[in-house]
Amino acid sequence: MGNIKLKTKFAGLIIALIAISLVANLAWTSENKRAQMENELREKGMVLTQQMDAVWEFMASNQYRLEQISYTEDGVYQGLHCAIVGRSIGQLFTSQSSYTTRFVNFNPRNASDQPDEFEAVALDAFYADPECREFYQITEFQGEEVFRYSAPMRIEENCLDCHGEPAGEIDVTGYAKEGWKTGDVGGAISIVIPLDVYMDSEKSAVVQDVIFFGGMLVMCLVIIYLALTYLVTRPLQKIQAGVERIQTGDLDVELAHTESSREMNTLMTEFNEMAHELAGIYSNLETQVQDRTAQLAQANAVLERQRAQLEEANERLRDENRYKSEFLAMMSHELRTPLTSIIAFTELLNRNSDPADEKEAETRREIEANSRALLLMINDILEMSRLDAGRIEMNMETVDLGDVVGMVRAVVQPLANRKDIAFACDIDADVPLITADFEKLRHVLENLCGNAVKFTPEGGTVHLAISHHPECGQVWLRVADTGIGIAKKDQRRIFDRFVQADSSASRSYNGTGLGLSLAKEYAEMHGGTISVESEPGHGSVFTVRIPVDGVGNR
């Protein structure tokens, strides 16, 4: 809609208004003409029934005179009866037209006077309401649309000789009297008026009204359209032309005032002022651009120097980080050899000789436990250094998790014995062989079990359980303990490097803070995940989920 011209929108609006107005006028005119036609037909029906009723009354009032000449010498009545004369007069009234006149009643003396559906409704209305003087409706009669009018025939004094009391007595015409009283409804006059002529007249009048109204409406809207073009669109086109000149760089634009309206002249005045301001701004723009360019060059020079300094600092940081990684790797490697020898000599000493007393036995256990704890920390530092240097690769092979658990037990059991912690390992019977990196899985379980032992008070329990979950194609390695637990706020950051849940300087538990970070790295390298469930004072459960088919991401 935004790309349509204003003239086109006005033209569309005018066409829509013409169409809506013509439809509304047609509906209103048709309804008005139909109501006018119905009222005219009602008046005609009322006049016709009044005339027929007057003839009927005249015949009834002079009936006694007819009776004097209506009997034979034998006393047989053969004269004109008022009902016969009334019906005949009614037929004469309508003989020169297409109208149809009937006299109807319930249980009539003549079967042809039996009422149809419309007449029956009219008679019911006259019987129900003595004040009802007419009943009319536009309806169908013999398959054609017609106007039907009905008026009641009320019993008068002259009617009682043939229709009065006593009911059942035979009157002069040989019919049983109905037992009516003065004022009763003795039937109804029914008139049927065809609508052909009236409908044609109505249609002709409607067409004439619509043509006249449509012509006047079109003329008015055309005048409005021309006025809008002169007063609105033409001044706007001038402003648009001025804007296009400004867009091309021609700022020497001044629009002349028009005779359209004060508002348009005000708009053009403001446009001219804007053009003058733009010209003044543009005259100083080159100087400003030169100044801004010089300032930008100076700022770029400063940024370039800062970038060079930052790059130099980053290079120093990279060197220092490389030196740190190399130093840690070297120190870890150099420390592992004597520690391994200490652990080996301790195991050899325990196998070849028994301790002289309990104190010596405790000393041997301390040496082995502390050596293994220190070896775990050194292994963590060495592995993290390799990760930083990008020298860690996945060695995927078929792994029996029972072998992994056996090696983990050999390392963790002395640590657990030192603190009198019950350490148990369970593997479900349906756990299959998996495709994984043996050493990295071992490292993961050693870190999790070592942490569990470290953060579990004496006399607690640590349980390693391995189960198979074929519905997701994974094995779950779960390490549960009865230790100090982890607060909810700390559970997300414990997997970061060099972070422990208790990070204060006076924390009670030593460690590098690398174990859980390495466990997370190695689990994700296998395409798995690691999660924790814990509450302070109620222990922790770490769960590592490893795919059976060995889908690694490195």
Written in H, E and C, the secondary structure of 285-305 is HHHHHHHHHHHHHHHHHHHHH
Residue 487 has pLDDT above 80, yes or no: yes
Residue 148 β-bridge partners: 137, 192
Average pLDDT rounded to a whole number, residues 241-248: 74
CA distance 502 to 220: 88
Cα(318)–Cα(385) distance, integer angstroms? 14
Q: What is the pLDDT of residues 313-326, one digit of tens each?
A: 888 777 666 656 66
* Interior angle at CA 334, CA 376 and CA 390, nearest 5: 70
DSSP letter at 256 equals P
Query: Cα angle vertex 442, ends 440, 444, to 5°?
Result: 70
Q: Per-residue pLDDT tens for 370-413?
A: 777 677 677 766 666 666 666 567 889 999 999 999 999 988 99
Length of the chain: 554
Two tokens, residue 93: 């009234």
Does the structure show a pLDDT above 50 at 553? no
For the chain, list the domains and their CATH numbers: 6-202 (no CATH), 285-392 (1.10.287), 395-547 (3.30.565.10)
Q: Give residue for tokens 């009391």.
A: 165
Per-residue b/e over 352-369, b at no fewer than 16 CB within 10 Å? eeeeeeeeeeeebbebbb
Where are the alpha helices (H) located in 179-261, listed in sequence order? 196-228, 234-247
- pLDDT at residue 380 in the model: 66
**Predicted local distance difference test score (pLDDT) of residue 138:** 86
The two three-digit tokens of residue 465, written as one number: 């359980």
CA–CA separation, 477 and 449 (whole Å): 11
Band (552; pLDDT cuts 50, 70, 90) = very low
At 191 the three-state DSSP class reads: strand
Contact 250, 258 (CB under 8 A): no
Better-scored residue on pLDDT, 499 or 127: 127
For 264-299, write each residue's pLDDT tens digit: 777 777 777 777 777 777 767 767 777 788 888 888
Position 505 pLDDT exceeds 50: no
Burial classification of residue 121, based on how many CB atoms lie within 10 Å of its CB (0-12 exposed, 13-18 middle, 19 or more buried): middle
pLDDT tops 90 at residue 464:
yes
**Which residues fall within 8 angstroms of residue 122, CB to CB, at 6 or more apart?**
115, 135, 150, 188, 190
The pTM of this model reads: 0.38
**Most distant CA atoms of the chain, gap in Å:** 174
In this prediction, residues 177-203 reach a mean pLDDT of 81
Residue 82: the pLDDT is 57
Task: Please answer whether residues 126 and 187 qualify as being in contact, where contact means their C-beta atoms are separated by less than 8 angstroms.
Answer: no
Place of tokens 């790309």: 3
Mean pLDDT within 104-113: 81
Burial of 332 (0-12, 13-18, 19+ CB in 10 A): buried
